[in-house]
Structures are given as structure tokens and as C-alpha cells.
Structure 1
Amino acid sequence: MTQQPFAGRGAIDLSALKRPAPQPAAAPAGGGPGGGPRGSGGSGGGAAAGSAYAVPVDEQNFQTVLQASTTAPVVLVFYSPAQAPESARMAEDVADLVGQYDGRFLAGLVDVDAVPQIAQVIAQASQLPQLPVPLLMVFLDGRPAIQPIPGMVPRDELNTLFNELGQQLTAQGITGRHQPLASAPGGEDENGEAGPDPRYAPAQDALAAGDIDAAVAEYQKLVDSNPADAEAAAGLAMAKILQRTQGVDLNAARAAAAADPDDVDAQIMVADLDLLGGHVEDAFARLVELVRRTSDKERDRAREHLVGLFAAVGNDDPRVLKGRQALASALF
């Protein structure tokens, strides 16, 4: 992803902190049991154990953390052990979950009891009298990428959110990844530095360049060489969706599907477009109903395509589990 200046409309004004941003320090090893965040106490603290992509935020590293969103999304979690003790658990969940995406996200954990100045800056930027806690914000290119999410968010919903964001990044050709803040087992190069898995680089570079056909070919090579590679299989499935929907007019596709509910091609196209737009459950429901209404070869086509969408989203996603149950009900 092309680096952008950290400025412009919508960026957070950091002048209220009145501190220069030093160079980022490597996250120290260790941490509390269970991978939970620690209060920074204004000194930076330690990153959440078990995740190389989560760091406590204080006044000194706040600007650096936000600047990292020019590479890939930064997820800020504002929590308060004093005001809302349960909010610390949500921060722990975010820290743990982002570690499963190999650098697609960086979590910044903000203990508002320890660093109230940061909460004040965000509240002012959001035109709020006071920042609610817990609060989750996602930044890309220094600007909020989604509406802030106040209140406790269950772990499974957080997982769904990150899955959707990851899909949308892939669909837009945004493939940047954060470097780990600490060395991760099995992720070091010849210089001892951790980095993204180079196997996926050709496919990701093709997506970034807008060459969908090349991305499909690269992912296909990975799947052919290792059919058990779940990440490659998911990348191939998503790249094929992008390939099928290139140049398709959404309104025309929806009109065609509405005019003929049993047209398998028309329904599949809208399901693909829904999934790319983040409407995953709508895409699944459309094809489940198509399976329910059709028979023989048409039913097989609808079912096989739905299974392909399951692969694109990921078999561990709770929406896929529900979708599989609905498919089984439609079939039997």
C-alpha cells in the first residue's frame, strides 16, 4: 500500500498532547498471563503477551501507532479498569484476535485511567463531551475507517468484524501488513527479523496491482502444491469472486436477480457482490434459499457455489457455521 502523509481532513489532531513522537521501541517480551493488556501508567507498558501485533499506547507512542495505519489498519481499544473492569477483557480479546491475522491489523490498547489526555484528544476529534469506555475505533491512513463502536463487544462479534474488514481490504487490493513488534516463533528471516509469509507475496502483489487473473493463478499454484493450506484456499476463493465480478453493475445485477428468483447465474452474481460488500449473511441466505427452491443440476451448482463462499470467508467464522447448518436444513 502506498504510504500517505499523516495529515489532512479527518486525521486526528495530536497537537493537544504537546509531545514529540519518538522512534517506536521494540515491544518487550513477556506480559500477563492469558495475553491481556497491561495499564501503561504513562510509560508505554508491555505489549499483550501472545500477540506480536498489540501494544499499550501512551502519550509518547500514540502518534507513532496512528501513523502505522498508513501501512495497514490500526485498531484502538479504549478501556478503563477503574470505570468498567469488564472493558479490560475486551481489550485482551482484541489483542489476542489481531494476532491471528499475521499483521493485517495492529491493536493499540489505551488505558484511559493511565492516559486520560489521549481520551480527551479522541473525544474532541469525535465532538463528544466524554469518551465512552470501552470504545473500539479502526484507523486507516490516519483516519477512522468505520464508525466508532462503543460498549462491550463479544469476542465472536469482534472476530466477525475482523473477518469482514480483512475481506474488504482484499477486495480493494489493500495488502499491507504490519511488522511484528516482537519476534514470533517460525517467522524470522535470515537476519533474524520476522515478516509476512513470502509464499503469499506474488498473489498479494498481483491484487495490489489490480491484476486479478494473476492473483488467481498465483493462489492456484499454492493450493495445487498444498491443498491443506487454508489461507491459500481462502485467498483463491476470494480472488475468484473478484474475477467473476469485474465490471459488473451492481444495480443491474440486482434487477436481474429480482426479475428471475430461480435464475442460478443471476442469484450467484448477487451473492458474490453481497459478499464483497461485507453482506456475508445476506450472500449465504440468498444461496441457501436458492438451494431450497431448485433441484438436480441447478441445485448442485447453487450448493457448490455456496461452499466456495464458505471457503472465502473461512471455515472457523461463526457465520459459516450457521450457513452450513442452514444449507444442511435446505438439503435434507
Structure 2
Amino acid sequence: MQVISDMQPPAGPDPVMDGDQKTFMQDVVQASREVPILVDFWATWCGPCKTLTPALEKVVRSAGGRVRLVKIDIDQNRQLVQQLVQMGLPLQSVPTVAAFWQGQIADIFQGALPESELRRFVEALLKMAGGQMPGADLLAEAETALEEGDVQTAAEIFAALIEQEPENPKAYAGLARCMLALDQEEQALAVLDGAPEKIAAHADLTAIRSQIELAAAGREAQSKFGEFEARLAADPDDHAARIDLAVALNAADRREDAAEQLLEAIRRDRVWNEEAARKQLLKFFEAWGFMDPASVKGRRALSAILFK
């Protein structure tokens, strides 16, 4: 187990640096293929940033070079921030910290966390980078049980983990997934609603909430496949029909097809109905998860459209 201590780290290059939009690809995306990178999005006017950044620097330096920190001033790098927001990174408020590994976003948190929680966040990132399942042994056991189809056992373990760690977002997300596997959407929502306010906006929990919302919309849309296809055959610029068709395709677990319909709507008119197609696509990414193959492929295609 990799543990971050308060001992003086070995001498070497400072793992903390300032970054900007010109060096982001090199300092963050490319560098994360060798070592996990934390990106601290901050602003001079942000009070909580003045607390978070020094604590984050201390934790990163104590990791002895196993993780790096790149600090981005959002006011000095507005173009970069705009691009990342359009890709689905929640930068509407600061401080926001995104963890990058292997060129992709691995985890995110917002707000000023205490040093102890920062250490746990970085330790989990290091475990992930080492190829291990993040979280405690109970979490790994529960995930395994759920993957093997033993939903009841998984639910019991996740519930036990919540008792031990009442602010563990992955435990709440796991229990909610168990409820969904048992076709108990209301119970899944109850689990999400019961999560402490401190973790209510965690990416794992918001992803499941989006899944539930999309499933409900998809059930209604699936009965109208033919109608949507007929409308598009008559008018390829019927963007409302294309978005509804995408929702139906997603409900049928045809993720890449769903994404392609929305991408086509964006290609034809990216600002239609206040960018409804792009917003729906970002909701898909949130529900599928950042690392899902359909999300990865879709984000690349979206980037090619928006930044060509």
C-alpha cells in the first residue's frame, strides 16, 4: 500500500508548477502517461483557493515525486477553461481539482478539503495508477460481488462500508447501483438522496442520478423509434427528433450510435436550442463515466468539431 507521510521527501525536481494553456497538453495530458497529475484550477479572488492550494502543495510534495501538481489560474487561461468546460469538465466554480492519469480525467473534486481528505484523495489516485482497485478492502470485495452478479451480497457490503465510512461516495454509489440492478429505481434515488451534503455532488453519485433520469426518458422514447426516424428522413435538420432518437438509442444500450446522433446534430447546428445537443451529450458522458469507451470516443469527436 502506498501511504503519503509527513516525512521529508527525497530531493529532486519540485513536483509543483504553474501551468497555462500553451503548456497544458505537455504538462498535464502527456505527462500523466508517466505519473498522475493533479490540476488545481484557482483564481486570485477565490478565498477557499488560498486555503486549498498550500495544503495541496504540501500533500503533493510529501508524495516524493509519485504525483505532480499543475496550477492553472482560470482568469489568465480563459480559452483553456472554455475548452475544458465544453468537454464536460465542471469549472463553473473554483477551486476545482482534476486528477489526470494516462491522458484522461481519473477523478475530480471541488471546494477546499482538509489536508487529511487531500491525502486520501491522492492515495486513492496512487492506488489507481498502480493498477489496484481504489478504496478499502470492503469496497473491492463489494465491487467484485456486484461484477459477479451477487447483487445482494454486494449491497450488504456497500451498506456496511457506509456505516464505517459515512462520507465515502463510492460506497453510496455502489449501493445505488445495486438497487438499479434489482430494478429498484426509487430505492436507488433514496440512497443518493441520503448521501451527506458534503459528497452529494461527487461525480460517482451524479453519474448514477443521470443514469436514472436517462433511463426514464429512454423508456418513453423507445416506443417512438419509428416516429423519430421518419421525421429525420423527412427533415435531417429536425434536431429535436435527432436528440429524442439519441435518448432512445442510449436506452437500448447503443451508446456509440446515441453519441453519433448528437454529434451529427452539433455538426449541423451547434447552437440550436441553446446547445441542447451538446448538453445532452455531456449528460451521456456523465452517466456513462469519463473512462467508458463511448465517452472517450465521443469526447474526441466533440473536440474535433468544436476546436477544428
Answer 1 or 2: which has greater helix percent: 2
Pick the TM interval, shorter chain.
0.3 to 0.5
